[in-house]
Structure 1
Amino acid sequence: MSWRELLPPWLVIVAGLTGIVLLCVSTKDVPVAPLRTKYGIVLDAGPSRTILFIYQWTTTKANKTGVIRGCSSCPVQGPGVSSYSDSPQKAGKSLEPCLNWAQKEIPAEQHSQTPLYLGATASMRQLNLTRPILSDSLLAALTGTLKSSPFSFQGAQILSSPEEEAFNWVAVNYVLENFFKYDWRGELVPSRRGMAGVLSVGGSSAQLTSELEEEKLAPKEGVRLQLYGHTHRLLTRQCPCHGTEQLRSRLLALLIQDQRSAKTVSNPCWPLSYSREVQWQSVHAGPCAASDDTWNIPGPKEVFNITGSSNATACLSLVQSLLNSSSSCSFLRHSPSTALKPLQPRFLVLSEAMDFMRGAVPSPDLGQAVERLCGMSVPELIRESQASLDTLVDYCTVSAFIFHLSTTGYTLDFDRPAWTAFQKMGARSSGWTLGYLLSLTSTMPQDSPSFLKGIEPGVWSLLLILFVVLLMGSFLRISYRVMAKESSPSHRNSSVFDD
């Protein structure tokens, strides 16, 4: 049998082997189209105002939890929701301008697929305890407005304090990349950093939230969250009467009682040239005003002129003596060595006073930063912030409280990188809303993107060359056979004529 007769079967064999190689070559999935951007809306109905936050993320998830990449916000005009006690319908109507803004920010085709949530915090919690019917009316008015929007309304609720602080904890550890991080290829990989605890200082109280081992918590104790493939049990310890407003009131009440013979009272925690008239009943009312010395207290209507003396050392000493007499703060009474020991050794501080201090008087040493903050003048405070002066002057007292807490065994992290991370995320003032939405992404459906099978360029080039050779060989063989058949009859005819 000649090689010409063997060539066709050999070409078939080679083509078959090439097909087998194609099946064996490793491939990878290549997305046909970029992943869609999804949106979520969370309204933070806080004590003094309501803010609408829009978050963005792609449909990919990291261990069943979403990866949020962007945030924008719209402050609702007017006071907090609880202030609309006389006309609940106005509370719902106040949301409309920001909802209209959100409709422009989010593509129209995504409106019906965008989840919308509202969470109410401190003031609504208090209102729900004292006037539950009014609280329900306010929530009903808010619900009516939100349901009429084109977005997918998922509910309005009053968050408990442990829930709010647990979501704060999630937000902090998310922006610090403690759950996961991006490697040099831009891919998500597990983070080897430990989780950070959170110290949150609000208006009326302070909270310390940390992750604890499962066996150290009672079944109904703490908040349990499933995030990025892991279960986290979080415990929040309350410190009533140690928020910004209550610290100020208790400090002023103490100063007035110490200097009761004078109508002008010196406050070392306020800057020089700052003064304010204070009525006794405004600083000595409610459960936080308890005092053993009641025999010679001023009359309720009595007014005192409080003037700043800007003495950092005296302020620190005064705040420390005030806190030493406190009995309501659980984590002041128990240091980490005697209380339930958290899994994380460090606590990030969330406080407007600390945000201001990190920007205005950055220092690696907390004590030095507090001393510099308490020594700032009124013009310096105003130059560094657009907040009202009545708010700025209390930052020294709050920072002194945080410094005192750092001396009782807690390692507080007030580094600037953490603050910068919140600014980059755009969620510096959103707090719990980011953590809340992250915890909900595990229940949201994930799009199934379309993929094509792809192989490495080198292998593709080799197979392409092989196929070209086979095609050329087949074409040449077919052409040869056709030409051979055409020349064969003419050869026979010429033989006949010759005969």
Structure 2
Amino acid sequence: MSWRELLPPWLVIVAGLTGIVLLCVSTKDVPIAPLRTKYGIVLDVGPSRTILFIYQWTTTKANKTGVIRECSSCPVQGPGVSSYSDSPQKVGESLEACLNWAQKEIPAEQHSQTRLYLGATTSMRQLNLTNATLSDGLLAALTVALKSSPFDFQGAQILSSPYKEAFNWVAVNYVLENFFKYDWRGQLVPSGKGMAGVLSVGGTSAQLTSKVEEENQAPKEGVRLQLYGQTHNVYTCHCPCHGTDQLRSRLLSMLIQDQRSAKTVSNPCWPLTYSREVQWQSVHAGPCAASDDTSDIPGPEEVFNITGSSNPTACMRLVQSLLNSSSSCSFFERSLSGVFKPLQTRFLVISEAVDFMRDTVPSPDLGQAVNRLCGMSVKEESHTSLDTLVDYCVVSAFIFHLRTKGYTFDFDRSVWTAFQKKMGDTSSGWTLGYLLSQTNTIPQDSPASLKGIEPRVWSLLFILFVVLLTGSFMRISYRVIVKENSFSNRNSSVFDDN
């Protein structure tokens, strides 16, 4: 056989061997992130209720922090945990229904790997200050009940106010995609947006939470959080006498003292024709009660008839006077110092009053919205409990007063709607932020790997395999042609002999 016959087979052999060598030598391990879902449980032990939240996420992390996507919740039947002070053993029994529900929601094979956290807030924090023994007993009873569950219980913790508000800040900025965003390929990339602040107005107090941009400006009482590969110094200004209930009481106390000689006290912040009888000691008691003139104050049992006059201008002036006389809130003083400067931050307001104002008085201008809300009549507000709605004017006027001090608030309705849709129960938003910070400590599953080839090597292999196929085709074609010629020559010789 000549060299021409041997050339195509040798080409095939060389190309095949070269391709195999390249496959073995030039490959590398390409990690594949596992898609298995993980779960986390957070129990929010609040002042009047306890809620169990289940969060889930894939094991993929963004700079060591989880990307939580969904949650479901189970309200625990019965009062808040602090109400079980007379029978601590029953507090664990109250959790059984929700723990059984969680076992059905989470696959059985994931139970032992699902971390369970408990965070106690306002009421337990106060109980711990007044009766630490009783507080420890309640937490011990909860610990026994949660340790008996199939989940990986991580312990019970009483959250201080700065930490709770910091976790709430994390949740707000996470939902608003200020930490990261998804690009057009579905990959996580830095958002490039600044962090929002949070103004939270509760029943007894208000909190203003913001990130301190420069580390050397971070107050000592701030909270440092590590999220998505970055360090965030978060600080909360706490105003104990500026919640909805306290603002109402302080305002009524001021009105009664100003109009103590009148049988009926006019309240410009209440709707026209709305009235309520108020006992003096109910509005002038506790640490938030203040009076410059103590020589002629009403008796504790004295009752006054408060009637609404629905005067937005007078209400705004009254609230401004009330707040300017406040010495218990650092919103108006400390924030203007060189240590803590939240005035450059846009704040999202979490308040029932603002929710109502967004829904009923949609206006891009806060001043117009407050005037419209404070000018409502009883008929306009009659579709909801008036005893609750009458306080919204005072709260909205308080927020408007903060704006005059240089604060910027985000009242975009579309942003708030999207936020509520993702956030769910905003009063328990801290649970999301808490779990996000905890995902830094949850180990990530080891990724699987596949053999990968560099693009240039792949191109070379493609060419070599083309050569292989071409050589094989040439060899087959050559053999067919040779056989046909040989067959044709034999037939010719046969006919020639004849």
What TM-score comes out, normalization by structure 2 length?
Answer: 0.87
Query: Contact between 1:194 and 1:344, CA under 8 Å: does it hold in 2?
Result: no
Q: What do residues 338-365 of structure 1 show as CA deviations (whole Å, max 9, x unaligned)?
A: 5522495222222222222222222111
Alpha-carbon shift at residue 58 of structure 1 (Å): 0.7
Deviates more, 1:96-105 or 1:226-235: 96-105
Q: Counterpart in 2 of 1:6?
A: 7
Alpha-carbon shift at residue 402 of structure 1 (Å): 0.7
C-alpha distance in 2, partners of 1:258/1:269? 15
Question: What SS does the corresponding residue of 1:447 show, helix, strand or coil?
Answer: coil
Deviates more, 1:310-319 or 1:409-418: 409-418
The number of aligned residues is 479
Q: What do residues 104-162 of structure 1 show as CA deviations (whole Å, max 9, x unaligned)?
A: 22222222211111111112211111121221122122222222222221111110111
1:135 paired with 2:135, answer yes
Q: Counterpart in 2 of 1:341?
A: 341
- Cα–Cα, structure 1 residues 106 and 359, in superposed 2: closer, same or farther, change >3 Å? farther
Q: Counterpart in 2 of 1:242?
A: 242
Match runs of 1:254-273 below 5 Å: 254-273=254-273
Question: What SS does the corresponding residue of 1:443 show, helix, strand or coil?
Answer: coil
C-alpha distance in 2, partners of 1:34/1:290? 60
- Cα–Cα, structure 1 residues 194 and 48, in superposed 2: closer, same or farther, change >3 Å? same
Alpha-carbon shift at residue 468 of structure 1 (Å): 4.8
- What code does the residue aligned with 1:452 have? L
C-alpha distance in 1, partners of 2:463/2:307? 85
C-alpha distance in 2, partners of 1:143/1:225? 26
Alpha-carbon shift at residue 8 of structure 1 (Å): 3.2
Q: Counterpart in 2 of 1:415?
A: 412
Alpha-carbon shift at residue 240 of structure 1 (Å): 1.9
Match runs of 1:99-110 below 5 Å: 99-110=99-110
Query: Contact between 2:313 and 2:371, CA under 8 Å: does it hold in 1?
Result: yes
Question: What SS does the corresponding residue of 1:288 show, helix, strand or coil?
Answer: coil
Alpha-carbon shift at residue 368 of structure 1 (Å): 1.2
Alpha-carbon shift at residue 45 of structure 1 (Å): 1.4
- What code does the residue aligned with 2:41 have? I
Q: Counterpart in 2 of 1:39?
A: 39
- Cα–Cα, structure 1 residues 234 and 294, in superposed 2: closer, same or farther, change >3 Å? same
Q: Counterpart in 1 of 2:445?
A: 447
Query: Contact between 2:334 and 2:340, CA under 8 Å: does it hold in 1?
Result: no
Query: Contact between 1:280 and 1:300, CA under 8 Å: does it hold in 2?
Result: yes
1:216 paired with 2:214, answer no
- What code does the residue aligned with 2:362 have? P
Q: Counterpart in 2 of 1:495?
A: none
Alpha-carbon shift at residue 477 of structure 1 (Å): 8.9
Match runs of 1:31-430 below 5 Å: 31=32, 35-212=35-212, 213-217=214-218, 220-336=220-336, 340-342=340-342, 345-381=345-381, 383=383, 388-429=385-426, 430=428
- What code does the residue aligned with 1:431 have? G
Question: What SS does the corresponding residue of 1:145 show, helix, strand or coil?
Answer: helix
- What code does the residue aligned with 2:393 have? C
Q: Counterpart in 2 of 1:435?
A: 433
Deviates more, 1:227-236 or 1:74-83: 74-83
C-alpha distance in 2, partners of 1:299/1:120? 38
C-alpha distance in 2, partners of 1:143/1:289? 39
- Cα–Cα, structure 1 residues 20 and 404, in superposed 2: closer, same or farther, change >3 Å? same
C-alpha distance in 1, partners of 2:45/2:207? 19
- Cα–Cα, structure 1 residues 302 and 414, in superposed 2: closer, same or farther, change >3 Å? same
C-alpha distance in 1, partners of 2:174/2:343? 17
- Cα–Cα, structure 1 residues 57 and 471, in superposed 2: closer, same or farther, change >3 Å? farther
Query: Contact between 2:35 and 2:59, CA under 8 Å: does it hold in 1?
Result: yes
Alpha-carbon shift at residue 318 of structure 1 (Å): 1.1
- What code does the residue aligned with 2:14 have? I
Instruction: Give the gaps of 5 or more residues in structure 1.
Output: 492-499
- What code does the residue aligned with 1:224 have? R
Alpha-carbon shift at residue 367 of structure 1 (Å): 1.0
Deviates more, 1:93-102 or 1:365-374: 93-102
Q: What do residues 55-91 of structure 1 show as CA deviations (whole Å, max 9, x unaligned)?
A: 1111000111000111222222333222332222333
Q: What do residues 27-55 of structure 1 show as CA deviations (whole Å, max 9, x unaligned)?
A: 89485x96011111112112222222111
- Cα–Cα, structure 1 residues 120 and 418, in superposed 2: closer, same or farther, change >3 Å? farther
C-alpha distance in 1, partners of 2:140/2:8? 84
- What code does the residue aligned with 2:405 have? T
- Cα–Cα, structure 1 residues 371 and 97, in superposed 2: closer, same or farther, change >3 Å? farther
Alpha-carbon shift at residue 466 of structure 1 (Å): 5.5
Question: What SS does the corresponding residue of 2:157 show, helix, strand or coil?
Answer: strand
- Cα–Cα, structure 1 residues 151 and 272, in superposed 2: closer, same or farther, change >3 Å? farther
Q: What do residues 213-252 of structure 1 show as CA deviations (whole Å, max 9, x unaligned)?
A: 111235x431111000001111112212001111111111
Q: Counterpart in 2 of 1:17?
A: 18
Alpha-carbon shift at residue 465 of structure 1 (Å): 5.5
Alpha-carbon shift at residue 306 of structure 1 (Å): 2.1
Query: Contact between 2:15 and 2:467, CA under 8 Å: does it hold in 1?
Result: no
Query: Contact between 1:206 and 1:238, CA under 8 Å: does it hold in 2?
Result: yes
C-alpha distance in 2, partners of 1:466/1:332? 80
Alpha-carbon shift at residue 433 of structure 1 (Å): 0.8
